[in-house]
Amino acid sequence: MKQDTKLTFYAIDEPVDKVDDATADINAEAAEHIAAATQRKGKTKLRKLAVVTLIAVLIAVLTETVLGIYAAFQSSVWLGGLWLAVSILLCLTLFGFFIREWWLLRKLKQRWQMQTHFDEQTHVKALQRPDLEQQWQQQRQSHWTDTEIATRFEQDILASVDQTALRRIRKWSLEASALVAISPSSLADMALLLWRNQRMISELSQLYGVKLGYWSRIKLWRQILTNLAYAGVSELIVDMGSQWLSTELVAKLSARAAQGVGAGLLTARLGIQTVKLVRPIPYIHTAKPSLMSIQKLLVKDLAKQFPTLFKGKPDQPQRQSY
């Protein structure tokens, strides 16, 4: 008889190649670069498609206009000349509009580039304030170093503009708070805030010598909202969270007054971000504006203007009726 054959298996330990941490980091960075490149390619394709579509629409409109003017000339010379004159005026108006928008958008981008380095002549003229230019020429000393020039310019010239901007922000915040506090509709609140904040941003920009057009205003709005969205957690806690952690303040405010103060704080925060973006140089030798100080002044001003919106002090005991 045949003997049963037993099969014996032996485990062979094979060495496993360990992945180095540096290699893993390089692979992760490569994956991020590939993802970013893919996203950029997608945006580039959409942008090219939008440009091609716009060009096609413009060619179609131009062709239709030429054919219409030709048909008008066939029927009447005077009618064709009238349509030709109107078309030329319309084209010149659109051309001037696009040139102006491009120029204002370019100036806004130059202002952001200006914040990276200090140039005396450029920054003095950027404010477009002859009185401040004259004041700077009077106090400017030839023996000052570059650091002293930048420091004195920010503390003596730009600080006065900053104070005016903070007064404007306080004024717009108070008006927004009052309008929201007395407004009966939430939809009206949103419309009022959008309208007032738009005017505030335009006024603050002009205060620092920046004129806004349609596209430059949209660009500035996008940058403001981006800065607010990517603000640090600590900044949000200091600026916003601390405002509502005070139980004494919440106890004194009615519901409408609390909504008004919230709208005023939002307006003030938008104003502070606008100042940071349109300022010729960032805050280096002067203190940044604080939302806490604006909040205290805002509550005081709102209490003076509308005392009925505030409750009585919580520490006063109520009388009991028997």
Domain map (residue ranges) of the chain:
24-114, 160-309
pLDDT of amino acid 257 = 67
12-21, 94-103, 228-237, range with greatest mean pLDDT? 94-103
pLDDT at 258 over 60: yes
Region 222-243: mean pLDDT is: 61
pLDDT at 268 over 70: yes
Contacts of 171 (CB under 8 A, 6+ apart): none
Confidence of residue 314 (pLDDT cuts 50, 70, 90): very low
Q: Under a CB-based contact definition with an 8 Å cutoff, are residues 265 and 295 in contact? A: yes
pLDDT of amino acid 27 = 56
Q: Under a CB-based contact definition with an 8 Å cutoff, are residues 253 and 311 in contact? A: yes
pLDDT of amino acid 242 = 47
User: Rounded CA gap, 178 and 261, in Å?
Assistant: 8
Place of tokens 């023996």: 143
pLDDT at 131 over 80: yes
User: Rounded CA gap, 311 and 255, in Å?
Assistant: 10
- At 269-304, the pLDDT tens digits run 899 999 999 999 888 888 888 777 777 777 777 777
Mean confidence (pLDDT) of the chain: 76
- At 33-83, the pLDDT tens digits run 665 556 666 667 787 888 888 888 888 888 888 888 888 888 888 888 888
pLDDT of amino acid 100 = 92
- At 291-300, the pLDDT tens digits run 777 777 777 7
pLDDT at 240 over 60: no
Q: Give the residues across from 253 on adjacent strands.
A: 310
pLDDT of amino acid 36 = 59
pLDDT at 126 over 90: no
User: Rounded CA gap, 69 and 91, in Å?
Assistant: 14
pLDDT at 99 over 90: yes
Confidence of residue 164 (pLDDT cuts 50, 70, 90): very high
Q: What is the DSSP string of 135-186?
A: HHHHH--TT--HHHHHHHIIIIIIHHHHHHHHHHHHHHHHHHHHHHHH-S-H
Work out the percent of the chain whose per-residue pLDDT is above 90. Answer: 11
- Nearest to residue 289, comparing CAs of 123, 171, 167? 167
Residue 240 burial (10 A CB sphere; 0-12, 13-18, 19+)? middle
- Helices vs strands, H then E, count in the chain: 13, 0
Distances (CA, A) of 202 to 165, 197, 282: 12, 9, 19
pLDDT at 234 over 50: no
pLDDT of amino acid 71 = 84
4-18, 146-160, 226-240, 304-318, range with greatest mean pLDDT? 146-160
pLDDT of amino acid 52 = 86
